[in-house]
Amino acid sequence: MSNTLKILRHGPLMTIQDGGRYGFRAFGVSTSGAIDRASHAIANALVGNDREAATIEFALAGGVIEADEDVVIAVTGGACRIEIDGQSAPPWESHILLKGQKLEIGALRGAVWGYLAISGGISTAPVLGSRSTHLRTGLGGLDGRNLIAGDMLTLGATAALELRTLGLPWFRRPGAIRVVPGPQDNYFDRETWTTFTSAPFTVTTSRDRMAMVLDGPSLTAAKGHDIISDATVVGSIQVPGSGKPIVLSADGQTTGGYPKIATVASVDLARLAQLPSGQQFRFRAISADAAEDLFIDEKRRLDTVLESVCQPGAKRYWT
Amino acid sequence: MHNPPDINYPRIIRAGDRAVTVEFSSTIDEVSNRQVLALDTCLSTNPPAGMLETVPTYRSLTVIYDPQVVRGAAMATELGHRAALQASSDTGGRLFEFPILYGGEHAADLDDLARMKDLSVEDIIRLHLEAEYRVYMIGFSPGFAYLGGLPEILHTPRLAVPRQRIEAGAIGIGGQQSSISSLPGPSGWRFIGRTPAKLFDVRRDLPFLLKAGDRIRFRRISEDEANDLDRRVARGDIIVREIAA
């Protein structure tokens, strides 16, 4: 008998996501997976799951769910009003959701992507090694689509109904979004490059799991807006003829024909994706080596935070 | 920060903090695509530490790595050595025969193409059918095949306004390239026919029919045969034949 989670009310975009689908980009298959990997991993750690286990990712606001067995749940990603049968239940820590209780997840504040982890993890059938949903191609998740009211999701077994909390806080640093120039920065003249790295940009509402369209000064490629299609990565900043940059996200296509002025440093991918639409930010160029250093440091910081997960009331590192 | 205007190939480019790209040419040509695939084969045979996956495209190979295992600078050096050592030919992929139904509802551009080229529809079909195609890369969406080898007379610019939905299996022309669609989706290419074969089916043991470097010949089929093949594909049969070169 496996546990089942039922969606009673759905938010604007809810999908099943795990650590991602690897090894198939050469066949045109996007990596997918949680857009904010750290928040996803922390949600899992709080309910005793493997850090890559499948969670429900929601955009802007969650919904209402219930389970047919007692489970442990945690919501991360941003600040958010959460209630269990009307009782307030803060994000970034775990809660017990008893059989039949209703978990209501409200709107995220100051963030765009939220994560609901449930003990045991969501155990829908993996596709090409991953449970992540890729909406455009209908791969993974639940029939490759977004979750809607009435959906039933099978869960893995809950090992123990234990509450957990973070012993160390997880925070996103403010500041410019760091980018590595290229691979086609040579398609743009010096003046355009200076504009790119100094003018304010915003993420528009044209955003989804595939890409974010930015608004800001128009960027013209001196050498034209067509390249021979080559590989893209998560974080590639493409500049089409419209002059409005497009940042590829977790579900972004694997190849593209627009020049890529820069690539978002991995350390700042989630921070950019979590920026509310309309909020201004700037880009700052750093070297690929420096971006790697930052990524490695960030991974260590995340490992430390994941290791700090402990039972409530246990001695905290910072006290 | 900016690359110098004069470029020597192969050229190694860092693409962010988790990818390095090796470019073999500034044009689409079979020689550089063979170099790409030869390097890809070399890397899959003897993978450098920290390499996660590779993405071969027309004239470049992108290597995605884990910076916690190998730094990009070291990966770039390693790829530089290997690229310099590459012979300019791969082993020359498999040869497949694909059934194709020309015309009909999935060939909205066939008549226009004939008018634009001042040829008959049958001439267009004959020209398309005579050529042998090479899979230059798989990309855009799962299993989508970009083909080279389209006869020059059939080169045609893309549509100004893309169509919202093109069905899986559609055979398209975009500039000097040809394509086989793997999933339904929007496209600005021009379409002349369809194959009942499914390039991508996640229910199969081998979800992807083609890989870069494979070669394709088309075999013309009738509407009746297409319908029959559709039924076999729906049952999970693979209807594409690998033929001796």
pLDDT single digits (tens) A257-268:
899 999 999 999
Q: What residue of B is the nearest CA neighbor of A298? A: B68
Q: Are residues A24 and A93 in the same domain?
A: yes
| Contact status, residue A119 vs residue A159, Cβ threshold 8 Å | yes
Question: Pick from B1, B15, B68: which is nearest to A233 by CB?
Answer: B15
* Least confident stretch, A1-5, A305-309, B105-109: A1-5
Q: Are residues B19 and B112 in the same domain?
A: no
| Contact status, residue A265 vs residue A233, Cβ threshold 8 Å | no
Residue B5 resides in a domain: no
Number of domains in chain B: 2
Q: Are residues B197 and B217 in the same domain?
A: yes
The answer to whether residue B118 scores a pLDDT higher than 70 is yes
Question: What is the distance in angstroms between the Cα of A266 and the nearest Cα belonging to chain B?
Answer: 7
Q: Which residue bears the tokens 């640093």?
A: A173
Q: What residue of A is the nearest CA neighbor of B65? A: A292
For A:193-222, CB contacts with B below 8 A are 193
Q: Which of B84, B104, B127 is the last residue of a domain?
A: B84
Q: Which of B37, B56, B84 is the last residue of a domain?
A: B84
Strands (E), chain B: 11-14, 19-23, 51-56, 60-65, 95-102, 133-138, 145-148, 163-166, 170-174, 177-180, 185-187, 190-194, 215-220, 241-242
- Across the range A128-140, mean pLDDT stands at 96
Tell me, what's the pLDDT at A145? 97
Residue B60 is encoded by which pair of tokens? 């470049």
> Nearest to residue B124, comparing CAs of B113, B135, B134, B133?
B113
Q: Which residue bears the tokens 């999701």?
A: A153
Per the structure, the complete domain to which residue A23 belongs is given by 4-154
What mean pLDDT is reported for chain A?
95
Tell me, what's the pLDDT at B1? 44
Cβ separation A233–B16 shorter than 8 A: yes
Q: Which residue has the higher pLDDT, A319 or A230?
A: A230
Per the structure, the complete domain to which residue B179 belongs is given by 95-242
User: Rg of chain B's alpha carbons, rounded to an integer?
Assistant: 20
The answer to whether residue A319 scores a pLDDT higher than 70 is no
Distance CA A254, CA A248 (A): 9
Q: Hey, is A191 helix, strand or coil?
A: helix
Question: What is the distance in angstroms between the Cα of A251 and the nearest Cα belonging to chain B?
Answer: 11
Q: Are residues B183 and B104 in the same domain?
A: yes
User: B182 in contact with A at a CB cutoff of 8 Å?
Assistant: yes
Cβ separation B141–A255 shorter than 8 A: no
Distance CA B202, CA A5 (A): 26
Q: Which residue has the higher pLDDT, B245 or B63?
A: B63
Q: Are residues A31 and A138 in the same domain?
A: yes
Q: Are residues B40 and B121 in the same domain?
A: no
Can you give the CATH number for the domain in which A240 is found?
Answer: 2.40.100.10
Express each pLDDT in B67-86 by its tens digit. 999 999 999 999 999 998 87
Distance CA A265, CA B228 (A): 51
Q: Are residues A121 and A246 in the same domain?
A: no
- Taking CB atoms and an 8 Å cut-off, how many pairs form between chains A and B? 147
| Amino acid found at A93 | E
The answer to whether residue A231 scores a pLDDT higher than 50 is yes
Q: Hey, is A286 helix, strand or coil?
A: coil
Distance CA A113, CA A251 (A): 14
Residue A291 resides in a domain: no
The answer to whether residue A162 scores a pLDDT higher than 60 is yes
Residue A136 resides in a domain: yes
Q: Are residues B190 and B148 in the same domain?
A: yes
For A:250-269, CB contacts with B below 8 A are 253-255, 260, 263-266
Distance CA B123, CA A33 (A): 48
- Across the range A52-63, mean pLDDT stands at 97
Q: Are residues B131 and B184 in the same domain?
A: yes
Q: Are residues B38 and B155 in the same domain?
A: no
Number of domains in chain A: 2
What percent of chain A stands above pLDDT 70? 98
ipTM of this complex = 0.94
User: B69 in contact with A at a CB cutoff of 8 Å?
Assistant: no
Residue A76 is encoded by which pair of tokens? 């991360």
Tell me, what's the pLDDT at B88? 58
The structure's pTM equals 0.93
Q: Are residues B71 and B115 in the same domain?
A: no
